Amino acid sequence: MYNTNYECRYHKDDVFLETDEVNEQEKDLIRDVLYREDLMNIFDMEEDDTFDLFTNVITDVYQKIKNYKPLHHCLKKLASELFTEDMATGFCILYSYHYMYTSHVCISEYLDKGFISEENIKLLENLVFK
C-alpha cells in the first residue's frame, strides 16, 4: 500500500542540529540513508521485501493517477530526460532523490482527495522545470 500520511524527512533542514559536528559529505550520506528510509515508508515496505512489491505498488499508484492531466507535462518532461515519451517512466522519476519530497505530497493529495492543489502542482513544476 501507499502511505499517504507519511511525511518525508530527508530534505528538511531540521534533520541536523547546529551542534552536530558533521561535514557536508557526511550530511549527504545521512540524507541518502534518510531518503531510502522515506521511500520504504512511503511504499510501506520492509527491508526484506522484494523489488516486485515496490513495482506492484508504484504500478498501482500510476494506474490511479495516469489520467490526471495537470500532471502530464511534468511526467513528459521527466521522461524526456531519459529520452523517452513514456509517462510511466516519468512517474517513476518522481520518486528520485530530487523530486520525491514534493511529488509524494502531490500524489498523496491526489489519492486522498482526487485532485492536486494548484500550490502543490506549482511546487512540483518549479522542481521539474528549473
| Domain assignment present for 2 | no
Structural domains in the chain (count): 1
Answer yes or no: is 116 within a domain.
Answer: yes
Interval 86-104: pLDDT, tens? 999 999 999 999 999 999 9
pLDDT at 1 over 90: no
| Any domain includes 70 | yes
SS3 7: coil
Is residue 4, in this structure, part of any structural domain at all?
no
The domain of 59 spans 13-128
Residue 51's pLDDT is: 83
- Is the model more confident about 42 or about 18? 42
For 24-77, what is each residue's pLDDT tens digit? Answer: 999 999 999 999 999 999 999 988 887 888 899 999 999 999 999 999 999 999
Domain contains 1: no
How many CA atoms within 13 Å lie on the side-chain side of 59? 6
84-93, Cβ contacts within 8 angstroms, sequence gap of 24 or more: 88/59, 88/62, 91/58, 91/61, 91/62, 91/65, 91/66, 92/58
